[in-house]
């Protein structure tokens, strides 16, 4: 058996969804569900590994929007309320299912799960970033970031300033919240285009990730395929996703999460027609619209079969099997790669963090299991890409190709008949913002002008999020995505006009600052062409 490195990267991102103008807002549940099902279970995994002195290395990419939301007081209070309701529902479920022992057992499991979640949340005083920082300081967790609002950079690229602003604001936000600069950068949707590495280098970034074909289609044939990074020519390194191990988790057909013994995401009691709407009313949307409650009693079972109740023991057994399989496949790859490589092979396995726990309920436990197995397995070493670069200092120089990890490997998911209308508006706003900053160069601005200019940059950033065109294409909450993008553009237009005409309304400006309360340290003067 040969020696090899495994780098697991979890990319945690949610769009900025915070609506202080409403007492409750359905889309805020995206964050609440992710906290309960993904981020807190992940904290617990890291805690257990730490207690057992497991020598693991893991990379976590935290988007600036997620960082902001996790630190937001309003959302913290609302999350606690949401979690308390889940505990209440689980308790009611224990009573409702008293004649169905299998389901009652699961209701008890959910009650324990939610209570444990609350304990962890309270332990960190509602600030999960503290937990991640703690594991970073222990030297086990590498923390990196992504673009400020997850803007899809290949389609913002007609304005270099827009791209640079996404990257620089991200790095600053990360630094302010985490206390250090990130060395790695997760390109939103792995969207890379040639020359992006220049902007990344200027922001102090040392490495980023592309999809497999980003490296395989580089302008020079990669000597080690996707199992060693490429130096883009300016010292910034590009790591590529390993297709085989990625497929093991991502693929709904061949991947682990689709196994019949794992929990079925779509079988939520919120949608169970046998459960009275009045009973569910306090836990669903406006008391009448059925939504996910987080309590699901069934396993995937199999296509076309009636769903069977979830058996946690069987799922646990399957987790162990899948973790073994993953490590074996990893070793097999390393063995076959080693013969043809001039260095130790590196397998890069990046995943969306929310897959673990939210969509794949058992995902965090599976992750824990592979990290424990790799620790026992002396031929495979988990490594972060930052550490890899410290140990391996010579690299092939080549320029990756344009690529994303989207549907066809390029940009078509983010520009198509459903969402292409947004780009003229986004580009126009970016141009107008740049012109404003040029016009205000060297001019002393009043406090209110400065606030308005900063808020205009925030509005542009929020409009640029890749989530909105993504949702429009996927056809999920399309109206919300359309509204968000048009609202942010309207707010930008309003601010732009009032700055130009010197008619800034302090009340309106304060309201916008209150609603879009993100990036408090932003400085509009940085939104300028690089030559200035």
Partner 1 sequence: MFRQITKICNYIWFLDTLIIKLVMELQHSSGKNFQTQLSRKELLEIKDEINKLYAPFVVDNKPEQNHDFKFSAQDLIEISQNISLYYSPKILTNANKLVILPIDPHHLYAYWELVDNKSHSISQSMFNNELTLRVYSRIEGNRDLNQSSPLAEIVIDKFHSRQKIRIPVSKKPTTYSASIGKTISKNAFVSLLDSNDTYILHGFTDCREENKSQARSVGSNNIDNNPQAIVFEDQFVYGSKSSVESHYPYTNYSAKGKKK
Residues 270 to 309 in contact with partner 1, rule: CB under 8 A: 292
Residue ranges in 21-50 that form contacts with partner 1 under rule CB under 8 A: 21-23, 30
Min dist CB 141 to partner 1, Å, is 22
Q: Which of 415, 440, 482, 526 binds partner 1 (CB under 8 A)?
A: 415
What is the C-alpha separation between 178 and 129, in angstroms, rounded? Answer: 8
Q: Which of 85, 105, 247, 377 binds partner 1 (CB under 8 A)?
A: 247
What is the C-alpha separation between 110 and 312, in angstroms, rounded? Answer: 11
- 180 vs 421, which CB is nearer to partner 1? 421
Q: Which of 100, 102, 435, 474 binds partner 1 (CB under 8 A)?
A: 474
Q: Is 225 in the site for partner 1 (CB under 8 A)?
A: no
Report whether 241 contacts 190 (CB < 8 A): yes
Q: Which of 100, 420, 439, 532 binds partner 1 (CB under 8 A)?
A: 420
Residue ranges in 165-204 that form contacts with partner 1 under rule CB under 8 A: 190, 193-195
Q: What is the 3-state secondary structure (H, E, C) of 108-162?
A: HHHHHHHHHHHHHHHHCCCCHHHHHHHHHHCCCEEEEEECCCCECHHHHCCCHHH
Q: Is 16 in the site for partner 1 (CB under 8 A)?
A: no
- 252 vs 339, which CB is nearer to partner 1? 252
The pair of structure tokens assigned to 72 is: 């937001």
Report whether 230 contacts 400 (CB < 8 A): yes
**31 membership: H or E segment, kind and range:** helix 29-34
Size of residue set near partner 1 by CB under 8 A:
94
Nearest to 405 by CA among 352, 456, 365: 352
- Which range touches partner 1 (CB under 8 A), out of 62-70, 317-325, 334-342, 448-456? 448-456
Helices (H) and strands (E) in the chain, counts: 20, 10
Q: Which of 184, 257, 364, 386 binds partner 1 (CB under 8 A)?
A: 257
Report whether 220 contacts 400 (CB < 8 A): no
Residue ranges in 107-136 that form contacts with partner 1 under rule CB under 8 A: none
Q: Draw the binding track, 449-468, toward partner 1 (x: CB under 8 A; -: no contact).
A: -xx--x------------x-
Question: Helices 447-463 and 160-178, interaxial angle, to 10°?
Answer: 100
- 25 vs 124, which CB is nearer to partner 1? 25
Q: Which residues contact 292 (CB under 8 A, 6 or more apart)?
A: 29, 33, 268, 270, 271
Min dist CB 514 to partner 1, Å, is 6
- 91 vs 244, which CB is nearer to partner 1? 244
Q: Which of 130, 321, 493, 526 binds partner 1 (CB under 8 A)?
A: 493
Residue ranges in 204-223 that form contacts with partner 1 under rule CB under 8 A: 211-213, 216-219
């Amino acid at each position: 058996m040969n020696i090899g490195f495994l780098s697991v990267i979890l990319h945690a991102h949610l769009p900025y969804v915070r609506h202080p103008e409403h007492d409750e807002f359905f889309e805020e549940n995206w964050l609440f569900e992710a906290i309960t099902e993904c981020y807190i279970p992940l904290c617990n995994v890291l805690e257990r590994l730490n207690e057992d002195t497991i020598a693991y290395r893991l990379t976590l990419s935290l988007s600036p929007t997620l960082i902001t939301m996790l630190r937001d007081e309003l959302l913290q209070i609302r999350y606690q309320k949401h979690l308390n309701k889940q505990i209440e529902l689980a308790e009611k479920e224990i009573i409702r299912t008293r004649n169905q022992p299998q389901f009652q057992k699961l209701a008890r499991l959910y009650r324990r799960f939610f209570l444990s979640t609350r304990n962890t949340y309270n332990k960190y005083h509602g600030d999960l970033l503290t937990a991640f920082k703690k594991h970073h300081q222990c030297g086990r967790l590498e923390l990196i970031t992504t673009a400020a609002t997850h803007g899809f950079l290949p389609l913002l690229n007609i304005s270099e300033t827009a791209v640079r602003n996404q990257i620089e604001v991200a790095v600053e936000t990360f630094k302010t919240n985490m206390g250090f600069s990130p060395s790695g950068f997760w390109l939103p949707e792995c969207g890379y285009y040639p020359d992006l590495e220049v902007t990344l280098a200027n922001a102090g970034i040392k490495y980023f990730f592309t999809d497999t074909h980003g490296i395989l289609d580089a302008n020079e044939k990669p000597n080690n395929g996707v199992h060693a990074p490429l130096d883009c020519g300016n010292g910034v390194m590009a790591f590529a996703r390993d297709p085989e191990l990625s497929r093991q988790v991502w693929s709904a057909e061949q991947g682990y999460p689709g196994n019949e013994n794992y929990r079925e995401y779509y079988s939520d009691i919120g949608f169970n027609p046998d459960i009275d709407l009045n009973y569910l009313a306090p836990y669903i949307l406006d008391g009448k619209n059925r939504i996910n409650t987080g309590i699901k009693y069934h396993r995937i079972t199999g296509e076309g079969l009636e769903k069977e109740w979830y058996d946690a023991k069987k799922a646990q057994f399957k987790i162990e099997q899948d973790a073994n399989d993953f490590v074996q496949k990893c070793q097999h790859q390393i063995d076959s790669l080693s013969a043809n490589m001039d260095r130790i092979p590196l397998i890069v396995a990046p995943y969306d963090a929310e897959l673990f726990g939210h969509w794949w309920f058992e995902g965090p436990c599976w992750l824990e299991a592979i990290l424990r197995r790799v620790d026992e397995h002396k031929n495979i070493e988990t490594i972060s890409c930052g550490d890899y670069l410290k140990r391996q200092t010579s690299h092939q120089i080549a320029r990756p190709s344009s690529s994303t990890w989207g549907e066809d490997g390029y940009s078509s998911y983010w520009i198509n008949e459903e969402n292409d209308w947004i780009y003229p508006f986004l580009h126009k706003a970016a141009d107008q913002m740049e012109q404003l900053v040029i016009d205000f160069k060297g001019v002393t601005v009043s406090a209110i002008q400065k606030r308005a200019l900063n808020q205009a940059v925030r509005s542009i950033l929020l409009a640029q999020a890749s989530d909105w065109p993504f949702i429009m294409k996927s056809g999920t909450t399309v109206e919300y995505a359309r509204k968000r993008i048009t609202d942010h553009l309207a707010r930008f237009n309003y601010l732009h006009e009032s700055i130009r005409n010197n008619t800034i309304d302090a009340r309106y400006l304060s309201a916008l600052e209150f609603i879009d309360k993100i990036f408090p340290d932003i400085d509009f003067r940085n939104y300028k062409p690089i030559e200035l």
